[in-house]
Chains A and B, each alone.
Chain A
Amino acid sequence: MNYNFKSIPSVPSAKDLIDTVLSKTQRKTPTEIHPQVQIARIRKFYMRKVKFTQSTIEEKLGEILEKFPKLDDIHPFYADLINVLYDKDHYKLALGHINKAKSLVESVAKDYVRMLKYADSLYRGKTLKKAALGRMCTILKKLSNSLNYLDEVRKHLARLPSIDPHTRSIIITGYPNVGKSSFMNNVTRANAEVQPYAFTTKSLFVGHTDYDFIPWQVIDTPGLLDRPIEERNIVEMQAITALAHINACILFFIDISEKCGYTVPQQIQLFESVQPLFTNKPLGIIITKTDLKRWEDLNPEYQQKIQEIVQKHNAFMSFISNENKEGVMECRNQACEHLKSFRENVKTKKVTTYGRSMPYVSVPRALNPSRPPHIPDSVIVEAQTGIKAREGPTPKEMQELQGGAGVFAIPPQAHFVELQDDDWKWDVMPEVMDGKNILDFVDPDILAKLEELEKEEEIQEDAHVPLDYDEYRDIYKVKRKIHLRRKRIQQESMMAKGTFKPKRKNLSEVEEGFKELGIDPSGLKDVVGVKRRRKPSPEIATNVEDFMDVEEGDGGEVIKKKLKLKNKALVKARKPGAIQPNPSRKELKIIGDEATKAFYDQKPQHIKHLSVGKRGIGKTDRR
Chain B
Amino acid sequence: MRKLLKAHDGKEVNTTDKSAVPDGAVPGYLLDREGSNKTKILSNMVKQKRKEKAGKWAVPIPKVKPLTDQEMYQVVKTGKRKRKMWKRMINKACFVGENFVRKPPKFERYIRPTGMRFTKAHVTHPELNTTFYLDIIGVKKNPQSSLYTSLGVITKGAVIEVNVADLGLVTQGGKVVWGKYAQVTNNPENDGCINAVLLV
Hey, which bits of chain A sit against chain B, CB under 8 A? Answer: 111-112, 114-115, 117-118, 120, 123-124, 127-128, 131-132, 135, 593-596, 598-599, 604, 606-607, 621-622
Chain B, 180-195, CB within 8 A of any chain A CB: 187, 189-193
Instruction: Report if B107 contacts A (CB, 8 A).
Output: yes
Q: Check B107–A593 contact: CB distance below 8 A.
A: no
* Also in contact, A111 and B116, with CB within 8 A (given A120-B74, A594-B109, A604-B107): no
Minimal beta-carbon separation of A475 from chain B (angstroms) = 52
Given contacts A124-B189, A124-B190, A606-B86, contact A596 B100 (CB under 8 A): yes
Binary flags per residue of B88-110, CB closer than 8 Å to A gives 1, else 0? 01010000000010010001111
Residue of A nearest to B110 (CB): A595
The interface residues of chain B lying within 8 Å CB-to-CB of A112 are 192
A118 near B107: Cβ-Cβ < 8 Å: no
Partner of A595, one of B80, B150, B191: B150
Q: How far is the CA of A284 from the CA of B200 in the complex (A)?
A: 80
Q: Which residue of A lies closest to B114 (CB)?
A: A114
Within 8 A of A (CB), among B56-99: 71, 74, 80, 84, 86, 89, 91
CA distance A594 to B107 in the complex (A): 12
Interface centre among B89, B100, B109, by most A CB within 10 Å? B109
Please give 13 more A-B residue pairs, beta carbons under 8 A apart, in addition to A114-B115, A595-B151. Answer: A114-B114, A117-B113, A118-B91, A118-B113, A124-B189, A127-B187, A127-B190, A128-B192, A593-B151, A595-B110, A599-B107, A621-B80, A622-B80
Query: Which of A111, A123, A595 is close to B109, meaning CB atoms less than 8 Å apart?
Result: A595
Contact (Cβ within 8 A) B191 A131? yes
A-B contacts, 6 listed (Cβ < 8 Å): A118-B89, A118-B115, A593-B152, A594-B147, A595-B108, A598-B103
Query: Distance in Å from the Cβ of A623 to the closest Cβ of chain B?
Result: 13
| B residues whose Cβ falls under 8 Å from a Cβ of A | 71, 74, 80, 84, 86, 89, 91, 100, 103, 107-110, 112-116, 147, 150-152, 187, 189-193
Cα separation A135 to B191 with both chains bound (whole Å) = 10
Closest to A124 in B: B190
| A115 in contact with B147 (CB, 8 Å) | no
B191 contacts across to A, CB distance below 8 A: 127-128, 131
CA distance A606 to B84 in the complex (A): 10
Return the 3 tightest CB-CB contacts between A and B, nearest first: A593-B150, A114-B115, A127-B190
List the B side residues contacting A594 at CB < 8 Å: 109-110, 147, 150-151
- B112 CB to closest chain A CB, in angstroms? 7
- With both chains docked as a complex, state the minimum distance between the C-beta of A600 and any C-beta of chain B, in angstroms: 12
Distance from B118 Cβ to chain A, minimum over Cβ atoms (Å):
10
Known: A118-B91, A120-B74. A131 touches B193 (CB 8 A): yes
B86 / chain A contacts, CB cutoff of 8 Å: 606-607
Nearest-neighbour CB distance to chain B for A118, whole angstroms, equals 6
> B172 to nearest A CB, angstroms?
26
Question: In whole angstroms, how far apart are the Cα atoms of A131 and B147 in the complex?
Answer: 29
> Closest CB-CB distance, A51 to chain B, in whole Å?
15
| Chain A residues within an 8 Å CB radius of B108 | 595
A595 touches B112 (CB 8 A): yes
**B100 near A128 (CB under 8 angstroms)?**
no
Complex: A556 Cα to B105 Cα, angstroms = 55
Partner of B192, one of A111, A120, A604: A111
Most chain-A Cβ atoms within 10 A of its Cβ — which of B80, B107, B112, B113?
B107
CA distance A115 to B110 in the complex (A): 18
By the criterion CB–CB under 8 Å, are B91 and A120 in contact? yes
Say yes or no: B151 contacts A115, CB within 8 Å. no
Across-interface contacts of A132 in B (CB, < 8 A): 192
Which of A111, A112, A114, A115 has the most chain B CB atoms closer than 10 A to its own CB?
A115
Q: Which of B100, B103, B110 contacts A599 (CB 8 A)?
A: B103
Known contacts: A124-B189, A131-B191, A131-B193. The answer to whether A117 contacts B151 by CB under 8 A is no
The residue in chain A whose Cβ has the minimal distance to the Cβ of B193 is A131
Q: Which residue of chain A has the shortest Cβ distance to B71 in the bound complex?
A: A120
Interchain CA distance A291-B176 in the complex, whole Å: 85
Residues of the A chain whose Cβ atoms lie less than 8 Å from the Cβ of B151: 593-595
Task: Decide yes or no: A131 and B192 within 8 Å by CB, A115-B115, A120-B91 being known contacts.
Answer: yes
- Distance between B139 CB and nearest chain A CB, rounded to angstroms: 10
Task: Give min CB distance, A528 to chain B, whole Å.
Answer: 36
Complex Cα spacing A621 to B91, Å: 28
B100 / chain A contacts, CB cutoff of 8 Å: 595-596
Q: In whole angstroms, what is the CA distance A43 to B116 when docked?
A: 15
B residues in contact with A595, CB < 8 Å:
100, 103, 108-110, 112, 150-151
Contact A115–B150 (Cβ < 8 Å): no
Q: Which residue of B lies closest to A596 (CB)?
A: B100
- Cα of A115 to Cα of B189 in the assembled complex, Å: 8
Q: State A452–B115 Cα separation when bound (angstroms).
A: 77
Closest A residue to B89 by CB, please name it. Answer: A118
B185 CB to closest chain A CB, in angstroms?
15
B74 / chain A contacts, CB cutoff of 8 Å: 120
Determine the distance from Cα of A599 to Cα of B89 in the docked complex, in whole angstroms: 19
A606: B residues at CB distance < 8 A: 86
CA A123 to CA B189, docked complex, whole Å: 11
Task: Name A621's closest neighbour in chain B (CB-CB).
Answer: B80
Most buried by B among A135, A596, A599: A596
**For the complex, what is the distance from the CA of A112 to the CA of B191, rounded to whole Å?**
9
Q: A594-B109, A595-B109, A595-B112 are in contact. Are A128 and B91 (CB under 8 A)?
A: no
